[in-house]
Structures are given as C-alpha cells and as structure tokens.
C-alpha cells in the first residue's frame, strides 16, 4: 500500500538538515570564491616549507579530505531528493488511480479527498 503524502512526517534528522545546508552552500558562487581565495593565499606559502613535496602533500591531503566529506554530504542530499521524488510519483500514480475509480463511480467526496492528497504530494519534496 502506498503511504499517503499527507501522512508523511518531517523525518529529517540534524545530519539531514546539515547536509542540505552544506549542499546549498557549496553550490553557490560564494563557496567557489572562498575556495579560489584560499588557493591564492596557499600558493605563496611555498616559502614556508623546506620542500615542494611537503607543500604539495599538505595541499593534496587537505583537499582530498574536504572532497571526501563533501561527497558524503552531497550523497545524503541526493538520496533524500530521490526518496521524495519516488514517493511523490508513487502518490501521484495511486491518487490518479483513485480519482479515476471515484470518477467512474460518481463519488465526489472521495474525489475531493484524493485531490487534497495529490496537492499534498506536490509539496512532498520540501518535507523529505
């Protein structure tokens, strides 16, 4: 049985909210600008290290760790988006089947209830 969209609660954890915020931030121009500034500041620090290899190792390690963490956060956001999309499509398909049955049978009260559920399904993505 398909779970009605009006009955799907706010299941987002703190980590989900954090991942969504991080996803929004890293997709903005501000994140790119900050990253470019950090790289520009990093380049002259070659004079602080005794070896170019150490200088490169530090930069590569930091960027690899950050990339790994960002991938994990972005994967969380993508998973929640996919789940919401699939739930929405399932609810729309089930709702459409109910509407067609009720239209065939002439049930206007059930038709109104189904319409409300379909409208709730449209807003499902924001809640998941």
Q: Tell me the pLDDT tens digit for each residue of 10-22.
A: 577 888 888 888 8
**pLDDT band per the 50, 70, 90 thresholds, residue 29:** very high
Q: Please check the confidence at residue 33 and state whether its pLDDT lies above 90.
A: yes
**What's the mean pLDDT in 30-37?**
91
Q: Tell me the pLDDT tens digit for each residue of 61-95.
A: 988 999 998 898 888 888 888 888 888 788 777 77
**pLDDT band per the 50, 70, 90 thresholds, residue 128:** low
The pTM (predicted TM-score) of the whole model is 0.53
pLDDT at 6: 47
Counting other chains too, the contacts that 82-87 makes at CB distance below 8 Å and 24 or more residues apart are 83/128, 84/124, 84/125, 84/127, 84/128, 85/125, 87/3, 87/5, 87/8, 87/121, 87/124, 87/128
pLDDT at 126: 59
**What's the mean pLDDT in 57-61?**
88
Give the gyration radius of the chain's Cα atoms: 24
Q: Please check the confidence at residue 23 and state whether its pLDDT lies above 60.
A: yes
Q: Which two tokens stand for residue 18?
A: 């954090």
Q: Any idea what DSSP says for residue 2?
A: P
Report the greatest alpha carbon distance in the chain.
83
3 state SS of 50: coil
**pLDDT band per the 50, 70, 90 thresholds, residue 2:** very low
């Amino acid at each position: 049985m398909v779970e009605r969209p009006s009955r799907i609660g706010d299941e987002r954890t703190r980590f989900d909210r954090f991942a969504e915020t991080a996803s929004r931030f890293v997709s903005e121009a501000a994140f790119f600008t900050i990253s470019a500034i950090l790289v520009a500041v990093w380049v002259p620090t070659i004079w602080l290290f005794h070896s170019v290899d150490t200088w490169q190792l530090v930069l590569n390690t930091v960027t690899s760790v950050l990339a790994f963490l960002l991938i994990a956060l972005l994967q969380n956001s993508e998973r929640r988006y996919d789940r919401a999309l699939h739930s929405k499509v399932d609810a729309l398909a089930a709702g459409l089947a109910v509407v067609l049955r009720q239209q065939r049978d002439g049930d206007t009260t059930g038709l109104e209830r189904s319409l409300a559920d379909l409208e709730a399904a449209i807003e499902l993505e924001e809640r998941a």
